[in-house]
Chain A
Amino acid sequence: MPAESRSTPRILDGVRVAIPLAPSPILFGISFGVLAEAAGMSAAAAVVMSASTFSGAAQFASVSVLDAGGTLAAAIAAAVFLSARYIAISVTVASIFPGGRLRRLLGAQLIVDESWALAGRSGRFEWPILAGAGLLFYVLWVASTALGTVLGGVIDDPNALGLDAAFAALFLALAVPYFREARARQAAALAAVITLVLTPVSPAGVPIVAAATACLLGLRR
């Protein structure tokens, strides 16, 4: 994008720059639908979750806890702790949202990791890019979740296909970019130890929630 990138982009420009990333919400949306179905979620619940939460990591986290037989509270807490990063992310783009409070609240729902990253690609955050990219990802995410629940109904035992390991791989791939920072590596190592130690002695889901305390390492100077 040469000369015209200087001018103010439009929402359609946001859709356009997001198209190369479209396979990711489609494939993850389908996977979420399949896993949700396997975890005993109804198709309606899976689609409503994609439409309201619109955050892959949080959704996969709560479904993974439910699938493991974890408690309600643990399934909620695991997702809420993961979503908490949106507080920090949304603060970085707080000033670009147009309109009154309600419009800002709705617009803010289009923040996902990818739309946020695209919106800041020119060196400063641009609302039309975030909105266009976010809208495209949202539509694809919800539609492919619906498709995934249909496929999930057909597949007999997704875990026989190794879907459980595939989700471990997903979480690992999402975690690795953070490991460039020493403090994130230390906190992650502590979280792994807490999880392993508590797994034999506590109900499913609890170790994940307890591991969240490892982030308090951030209070160290």
Chain B
Amino acid sequence: MTDVWIVVVAVGLATVLFKAAGPVLVGRRPLPRRWQSVVDLLAPVMLTALVVTQTFGGDGGVTVDARLPGVAAAAIAIWRKAPIIVAMVIAGLVTALVRVVV
């Protein structure tokens, strides 16, 4: 089994179990409140870390390149309540343009 398939199977299994956690295991009992707030923070935390690595990640450390103006333009679009797909297209276009010009 190649690395990619290990990722596919492991992530698939974990997600299947997480989604089933409520309906199969927990039933009607709520999560303890403090753990609920930890779980609630996981999504914004992980998504932010992904924004940072996807924008600044590169070989040998923090890299500032054509991605940054693209993501900045998308951030303005998101702030102006643009749909996600529009923000993605803006980020892609601006980055591609900067790559052509610079």
Q: Which of A's residues lie within 8 Å of B, judged by CB?
A: 23-24, 27-28, 31, 40-42, 45, 48-49, 52-55, 57-62, 64-66, 68, 72, 75-76, 78-95, 97, 101, 104-105, 107-109, 111, 160-176, 178-179, 183-185, 187-192, 194-196, 199-201, 204, 207-208, 211-212, 214-219
* A165 near B94: Cβ-Cβ < 8 Å: yes
Give the nearest-CB partner of A92 in chain B. Answer: B22
- In the assembled complex, the Cα of A88 lies from the Cα of B22 at a distance in Å of 8
Which of A75, A83, A89, A216 contacts B22, CB < 8 Å?
A89
- In the assembled complex, the Cα of A145 lies from the Cα of B60 at a distance in Å of 32
* A168 near B74: Cβ-Cβ < 8 Å: yes
B16 at the interface (CB under 8 A from A): yes
Q: Which residues of chain A are near B89, meaning CB under 8 Å? A: 166
Task: Determine which residue in A179, A200, A208 has the highest number of CB atoms from chain B within 10 A of its CB, and name it.
Answer: A208
- In the assembled complex, the Cα of A74 lies from the Cα of B26 at a distance in Å of 29
Q: Number of B interface residues at 8 Å Cβ cutoff, please give it.
A: 73
* A174 near B42: Cβ-Cβ < 8 Å: no
Which of A23, A31, A108, A195 contacts B49, CB < 8 Å?
A195
* B44 near A165: Cβ-Cβ < 8 Å: no
Q: Which residues of chain B are near A171, meaning CB under 8 Å? A: 47-48, 50-51, 54
Which of B28, B85, B95 contacts A164, CB < 8 Å?
B95
Q: Which 7 A-B pairs have the closest CB atoms?
A: A90-B22, A162-B95, A52-B12, A200-B61, A165-B70, A169-B74, A218-B37
